[in-house]
Amino acid sequence: MVSIVENWAIVVGLVAGITTVEPKSNFMDLKVEVQRVENLESYPNLINKHVGDEVTIRVQANQIAAVDNLVDTQVKIRVRRGRSPDILFAHPDWRPMRNGD
């Protein structure tokens, strides 16, 4: 049996694109160009991406619904890695901030 490791890190980067996961899905994918990855407290950091890499971060649609357009905006997102190393998941409490909010 595979054990699950509670893991968190912070990805800081520039949003390159936003796509809907499925037509009736409550999730969207942010394509983010990594500027840096930060450790978070004592959690293991399982993110193996580097500056310039592009990552897919799955967010709940309501997390970005109030923002007009995040493309070309810098974001700082607390993420975890799930089963797939290709998709990261945003923390449910994450909200994009603008203009130094």
Residue 97's nearest CA partner among 72, 74, 71 is: 74
Q: Does any domain span residue 1? A: no
pTM of this structure: 0.88
The CA-CA-CA angle for residues 71, 20, 13, to 5°, reads 35
Q: Which domain holds residue 68?
A: 9-90
Q: Does any domain span residue 3? A: no
CA distance 70 to 64: 8
CA distance 18 to 29: 6
Instruction: With a cut of 70, say whether residue 66 has pLDDT above it.
Output: no
Q: State pLDDT tens for residues 40-62.
A: 999 999 998 899 999 999 999 88
Instruction: With a cut of 60, say whether residue 30 has pLDDT above it.
Output: yes
Q: Does any domain span residue 97? A: no
